[in-house]
Amino acid sequence: MQIIGKVKLSKSPWLNHSWHSTFFLTPRGLTSALIHDGPRAFAVDFDFVDHLLVIQDDRGAEVKLQLMPESVASFYRKVFRAFDGMGIQAHIDPRPNELPDRERFSEDVIHCSYDPEFSSRFWQAMLRTHQVMQEFRSRYVGKVSPIHFFWGSMDLAITRFSGRRAPQHPGGVLNLPDLVTREAYSHEVSSCGFWPGNDLVPYPAFYSYAYPIPAGFESARIRPNGAIYHETLREFLLPYDLVRASADPAATLLDFFQSTYDAAANLGGWDRVSLEESPFLKLLQLSRASSRRAGQLKKAG
């Protein structure tokens, strides 16, 4: 994912908060979305149904590479041979970001795993999470990010902004330039997402954090029971297994997103009336609810 993400990064004009570099969910996996290469355009998809990497361009060319256990170096060579064969010029920094191991992609013969079942389950979990995030996003009329996938840390995320500038971020994110981190957190945020975990958190989890962290945030009462504040990460975590086992997973996750945002916004003094209330949006929501009720009554009758 970092190899393909860096190709998109290298060919896209910079957008605020690195939004130009992210992937998006599809009914079959993840996509780079449209990438421009001079007068032509292409896209790269991860297909987690048939386990393929699919490269397509606007001239009708298509290359499919099997996703399978092989070294990073082998995958890297196959991808760039495919680009060369399609006449796509791609030049990237050949080292991973946000990971402790900085072995060049072309030389990495250590990491060789690909688990089709895990890949499919991870994608399915993100699909269900995306549906909840859509509902959560609809409640906000201030500046808010797309629902997008960051390939550096491997998380599906959505971010709300207060509209105010933030103090300069100290940086220090593992193998990520401080300039990138500081631009990403140039304004106050409340961000949440889904993440498969790492050595520090060895389980998949939903997360939520605020920057800057308002006083008292770490001790805020967060729903549901089982959500914890991670002192090292300085964010709230809700284990995926807890949500999966709940009677209503979507409602449980939405409650986590809402309660952590409430804590960040209330303690941070956000202008919640301006950021959350839209008479037009409320009218649309009421109209949709009324239509659903009418349909239910008609079906019952």
The stretches of the chain forming alpha helices (DSSP H) are 2-11, 72-86, 116-137, 178-184, 240-244, 249-268, 272-276, 279-300
- Distance between first and last Cα of the chain: 51
- Asked if 147 and 96 sit in the same domain, the reply is no
Domain ends where: 88, 114, 140? 114
Query: Within 10 A of 266 (CB to CB), how many other CB atoms are there?
Result: 14
- Asked if 121 and 235 sit in the same domain, the reply is yes
- Asked if 216 and 246 sit in the same domain, the reply is yes
Quote the pLDDT of residue 287: 72
- Asked if 251 and 125 sit in the same domain, the reply is yes
The number of C-alpha atoms within 13 Å of 235 and in the hemisphere containing its C-beta is 23
Q: Residue type at 167?
A: P
- Asked if 129 and 231 sit in the same domain, the reply is yes
189 SS3 class: strand
- Asked if 42 and 157 sit in the same domain, the reply is no
Please provide the size of the chain in residues: 301
- Asked if 137 and 47 sit in the same domain, the reply is no
Residues 6+ apart with CB under 8 A from 87: none
Task: Read off the pLDDT of residues 193-209 as tens digits, 9 standing for 90 and up.
Answer: 999 999 999 999 999 99
Q: What angle in degrees, to the nearest 10, is found between the helix axes of 249-268 and 116-137?
A: 50
Quote the pLDDT of residue 121: 96
Q: Residue type at 51?
A: H
**Considering the domain boundaries, does residue 74 fall inside one?**
yes
Q: Whole domain around residue 52: which residue ranges?
A: 2-114
Inform me whether the pLDDT recorded for 231 exceeds 80.
yes
Task: Read off the pLDDT of residues 67-112 as tens digits, 9 standing for 90 and up.
Answer: 999 999 999 999 999 999 999 988 999 999 999 889 999 999 999 9
- Asked if 40 and 182 sit in the same domain, the reply is no
Q: What percent of the chain has pLDDT over 90?
A: 90
Domain ends where: 114, 146, 166? 114
Helices (H) and strands (E) in the chain, counts: 8, 12
Q: Residue type at 152?
A: G
How many structural domains are present in the chain?
2
Q: Which pTM does this prediction carry?
A: 0.91
Q: Cα angle vertex 222, ends 217, 227, to 5°?
A: 105
**Considering the domain boundaries, does residue 298 fall inside one?**
no
**Considering the domain boundaries, does residue 171 fall inside one?**
yes
Q: Cis before residue 96, ω within 30 degrees of 0?
A: no
- Asked if 203 and 138 sit in the same domain, the reply is yes
Residues 213-224 as b or e (16 or more Cβ within 10 Å = b): ebeebeebebbe
- Asked if 101 and 218 sit in the same domain, the reply is no
